[in-house]
């Protein structure tokens, strides 16, 4: 059975209040970048847990939030594929787990969004007329997304190669 924040802190020698401050600070930065507030807090709590996996009740306890707030946050995080839901063995309780290679997978999925946007923008150029100011602006935006995609593939490949050289715990 997973540990509470206090139990996890005690077993690892961590300061539970310092961990809580870290979670809230990182969550605030995610919120500032555009993520929903509760989703940011739940994501940061999962990231800061040793298992990367917590139940709804554990999330509520760690963050001092209601079951409804947890439900909304995990719904959002599941929808954007940042976490997955799994059934706790021998129980009816769900557990929420961070994906392996979370950031790699997240950026790979963002590439799919860029592809869709680029296609729509190219259609917009045809609709607006390539020789109009609006058409030129939309064409530049499409070219920007095309450039980002090309660079993203290279960047993700370089990350994989770099990650292989790191001595990370759990590898």
- 171 located within any domain: no
Cα separation of the two ends of the chain: 23
Asked if 16 and 56 sit in the same domain, the reply is yes
Asked if 68 and 16 sit in the same domain, the reply is yes
CA pair distance 157, 19, nearest whole angstrom: 32
Residue 129, SS3? coil
CA pair distance 115, 67, nearest whole angstrom: 36
Asked if 10 and 63 sit in the same domain, the reply is yes
Q: Are 147 and 141 in contact, with CB atoms under 8 Å apart? A: no
Give the pLDDT confidence score for residue 170 in this predicted structure.
66
Higher pLDDT, residue 154 or 1: 154
Rg (the chain; Cα; Å): 20
pLDDT in tens, 104-142: 777 777 767 788 889 999 999 999 999 999 999 999 999
Q: Which among 62, 79, 98 is the end of a domain?
A: 98
Asked if 65 and 113 sit in the same domain, the reply is no
- 81 located within any domain: yes
Asked if 34 and 114 sit in the same domain, the reply is no
Higher pLDDT, residue 89 or 13: 13
Taking the whole predicted model, whether its pTM rises above 0.85 is answered as: no
Question: For residue 112, what are the domain limits?
Answer: 102-165
The percent of residues above 70 in pLDDT, for the chain, comes to 92
- CA 76 to chain centroid, in Å, comes to 10
Burial 3-39 (b: 16+ CB within 10 A, else e): bebeebbeeeebeeeebbeebeebbeebbeeebbebb
pLDDT in tens, 43-72: 999 999 998 999 999 999 999 999 999 999
At residue 2, does pLDDT exceed 60?
no
């Amino acid at each position: 059975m997973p540990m509470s924040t206090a139990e996890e802190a005690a077993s690892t020698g961590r300061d539970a209040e310092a961990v809580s401050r870290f979670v809230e600070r990182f969550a605030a930065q995610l919120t500032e970048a555009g993520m929903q507030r509760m989703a940011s807090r739940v994501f940061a709590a999962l990231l800061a847990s040793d298992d990367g996996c917590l139940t709804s009740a554990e999330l509520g306890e760690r963050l001092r939030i209601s079951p409804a707030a947890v439900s909304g946050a995990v719904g959002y995080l599941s929808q954007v594929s940042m976490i997955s839901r799994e059934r706790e063995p021998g129980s009816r309780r769900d557990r929420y787990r961070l994906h392996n290679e979370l950031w790699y997978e997240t950026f790979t999925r963002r590439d799919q969004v860029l592809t869709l946007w680029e296609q729509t923008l190219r259609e917009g150029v045809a609709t607006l007329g390539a020789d109009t100011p609006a058409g030129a602006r939309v064409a530049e935006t499409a070219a920007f997304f095309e450039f980002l995609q090309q660079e993203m593939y290279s960047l993700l490949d370089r990350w994989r190669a770099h990650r292989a050289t790191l001595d990370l715990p759990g590898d």
